[in-house]
Structure 1
Amino acid sequence: MSHPATHPRPARRGRLFRIAAAAVVLLAVAGYLVAQYVSGGPGAPRCTVGSGDGDTYKLSPEQAENAATISAVGTSRGMPERAVTIALATALQESGLRNITRGDRDSLGLFQQRPSQGWGTVDQIMDPVYAAGKFYQRLAEVPGYSRMPLTVAAQKVQRSGFPQAYAKHEPDATLLTAALTGRSPASLTCTVAKDAHPGDPARVRAELTRAFGAGVAPDKGDGREVTIPVHSPARAGANADGGAEQRGWALAHWAVAHAATLRVEQVAYAGHTWNVSGSHKGWRTDSGTASDTSTGSAGDAAQSGAFGQVRITLAG
């Protein structure tokens, strides 16, 4: 009597399925590890602003870069911190701090300014430095704006159909202002990807000068390092009250916020260092321990020369 042949296909298929599943898992793990290596830490590229009270605000590198530009332009014009907060809250509402090419009718850019309403040409409005400068110019023309509720001051400039919408952004804008004007030290950090392409020191110097004005005077330096001497702001305004220390942190935070675009590898200031390879850990002190938001007394800093310069090292 003949017996039917056995067919081990189900078992074979089961093994093949398990092998395929294991391969998928391995590929996923490998992809995750590569992402961690490239980004410098867990998760996607991101920026975080914190306060001594534990409040935090998370944003993308693109948003952080635009916010830092808005703050730097205000600082360069001697505008008080209240003006920077108004500008940041306005941009958060109008564009989400993204330099967008669309909007209601012909509105464009960070502040959704309209060429047809005399804000400038399309190219000008799409330049964050110009757009921020134009906003501050019109804000400065509003008598007593710094004493007004934020919604009222913003509306005087924007003429929005929904003026109350600016109010919900005031807490986040206040947090950003404290960091980006340098009043809150070591409070902005970004986790960004390592870049295999070298940074361009000339471009960094040009962007610094565009945002902060000619008085920023970065040293030419050698190789891939840009050094910025730190002096008290020359122009009057509330931002001058913090002196050189606050000025230095404004420059340092600007560099971190622009790290992805300008291929910044490291920023060092006042005994603290931010490095792209460990950017998920934030600012580190020279001793290698995580920094808090304090840099010690101004007298100690001046004695050690810690507030003398901001050093920006680019990818090489």
Structure 2
Amino acid sequence: MLRNRRGGNCGRGRTWRWFPDYKVIDRAPSQRITPVILCGGEGTRLSPLSSAERPKYLLKGWSSRTILQETILRVSDSAIYKEPILFTSTRTETIVRTDAAKAAGAGFTLIAEPAPRSTCPPLITAAILASKEESDALLLALPSDHYIEDLGHFTGAVIKAAGQTGQGKIALFGVTPKSAETGYGYIECANEGKGGEVYKVISFHEKPSRERAEAYLKSGNYLINSGIALFKASTLLAYAKKFLPKLLERVEESIWDVDTPSLQKGYEACQKISFDHAVLEGPIEKVCVELQTGWSDLGTIESIRQAALKYQSERGSLFNAIRSGLPLTPFKS
């Protein structure tokens, strides 16, 4: 049963609380993975901590690095990952490029969206670009602004998920709910998993009501959707061709890939739709790998406060300032 899942760490039993060197395991998947880091959002939910010009991922969350830099370094092991593809807005293109270069050097591709179109259009764009270099490319889609405590466990979970993406499957990463949270999507999992950590997904549910979230928590068969997904580019493109043909066509028409990839103004005509709604809620086979480590999407002032009080941090970071007594009363979640 999901409610009796065992804990533990990957990476030969090593526990990594935060990320000094980003080399954590000595095994790698049979195929390297292309990270796709989504640097979106309007930066207004955490105002005045963040703004449209200075989004959350550019804050120094728990270390001397920005949250975006931590995200890039989390997927920087060249034995496992290829160079990442980053998506952001034209408004933040310059500052994101500068910030990302401090973690990745020149080893990344940055694509600025002419207009924000949620998460599905950029992931289709990434799938098209990656498949040009490798017909069966593996993509790891992840937000730019999350906290993950144990790097060794996360990397092991990614490697485990990579072995589950055959035959048109998408691998999701779920987190055990601690309370009846209404701000997340939920993944309903079969009781019987593979090795106790990989589960067949029965259904995917967007943000529930309080009553329904309490039922999910009580059942013990639901995990919170972390917003991270691993899949083959060919899987997403085949799905889009069948179920999202107009969106796929619009994206294909918008890509300009002569010297460096970019998106043309016609991209604005793409439907604004999330990957969760367009794909994960649709008729596609999914599995879920459980993240048995500390995780937060840092989506509200309260979730940032809780993470700051729970996890280690460096002096000069937002977490450390909160632990030191930064008042949160002026802020609204």
TM-score (norm 1): 0.28
Q: Which has the higher contact order (CA 8 A, sep 6+)?
A: 2
Pick the structure with more strand per residue: 2
Pick the structure with more helix per residue: 1
TM-score (norm 2): 0.27
Q: In terms of Rg, which structure is larger? A: 1
